């Protein structure tokens, strides 16, 4: 027997049943997209760099509260757009960028003393893995440890090192 805690549960129950029916699966997806846009999570990109207006807004709000020289980990560094934005907002921040794709890490020029690029992935244990990606002379943003996630593209594989998180 279903136990309802309040009138809100009773009112929501038919909605949940409706959303469980296959032709109506789009309803929760639509609500998710609308809610993330309303909260500014999924808003327009600043430019071609891949960091959203709302991410910049969030960084401008949070970073100053972290002191004069916060330490930031940019996991999945790619071209470093996120890290560059952090350093634009708080120039004294120390940023550690983790980028497992050797093609991308090789291209990045570190022109800041406050930025350290580490060419490896992060995990709960030390080891090695294969990073699957679309073949490219400069790496892409679709890299995955799971070959099936990038199966629609021709694959290139790179052996990468994996570091554990710092306790």
Give pLDDT tens digits for 82-136. Answer: 898 999 999 999 999 988 888 777 777 666 789 999 888 888 888 888 887 777 6
Domain membership flag for residue 115: yes
In a domain, 1, yes or no: no
Q: Are residues 157 and 93 in the same domain?
A: yes
**Buried-exposed string 37-71: b where 16+ CB fall within 10 A, e elsewhere:** eeeeeebeeeeeeebbebbbeebeeebeeeeeebe
8-state DSSP, 38? H
Domain assignment present for residue 104? The answer is: yes
Do 112 and 53 share a structural domain?
yes
Q: Mark whether 49 and 86 lie in a shared domain.
A: yes
Report strand pairing: 127-133 vs 121-122: unpaired
- Global pTM reads 0.62
CA distance 116 to 93: 11
140 within some domain: yes
Across 44-72, average pLDDT: 78
- Within a domain: residue 3? no
User: What's the domain range around 38?
Assistant: 8-42
Q: Is 35 within a domain?
A: yes
pLDDT tens for residues 3-37? 777 777 778 778 778 878 888 888 877 777 776 66
Q: Tell me: pLDDT of 73 over 60.
A: yes
Nearest to 78 by CA among 35, 27, 136, 148: 136
Distance from C-alpha of 97 to C-alpha of 72, rounded to nearest angstrom? 8
Whether 18 and 61 map to the same domain: the answer is no
Maximum distance among all Cα pairs of the chain, rounded to whole angstroms: 64
R_g over Cα of the chain: 21
CATH number of 146's domain: 3.40.50
**Half-sphere exposure of residue 112, counting CA atoms within 13 Å on the CB side?**
20
């Amino acid at each position: 027997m279903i136990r309802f805690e309040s009138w809100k549960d009773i009112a929501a129950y038919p909605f949940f049943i409706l959303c469980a029916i296959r032709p109506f699966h789009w309803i929760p997806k639509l609500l998710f997209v609308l809610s993330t846009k309303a909260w500014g999570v999924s808003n327009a990109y600043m430019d071609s760099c891949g960091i959203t207006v709302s991410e910049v807004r969030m960084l401008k709000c949070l970073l100053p509260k972290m002191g004069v020289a916060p330490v930031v980990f940019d996991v999945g560094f790619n071209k470093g757009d996120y890290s560059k934005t952090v350093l634009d907002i708080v120039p004294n921040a120390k940023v550690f960028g983790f980028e497992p794709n050797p093609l991308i890490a090789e291209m990045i020029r570190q022109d800041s003393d406050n930025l350290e690029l580490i060419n490896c992935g992060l995990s709960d244990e030390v080891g090695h893995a294969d990073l699957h990606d679309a073949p490219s002379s400069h790496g892409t943003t679709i890299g995955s440890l799971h070959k099936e996630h990038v199966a629609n593209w021709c694959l290139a594989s790179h052996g990468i090192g994996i570091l554990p998180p710092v306790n």
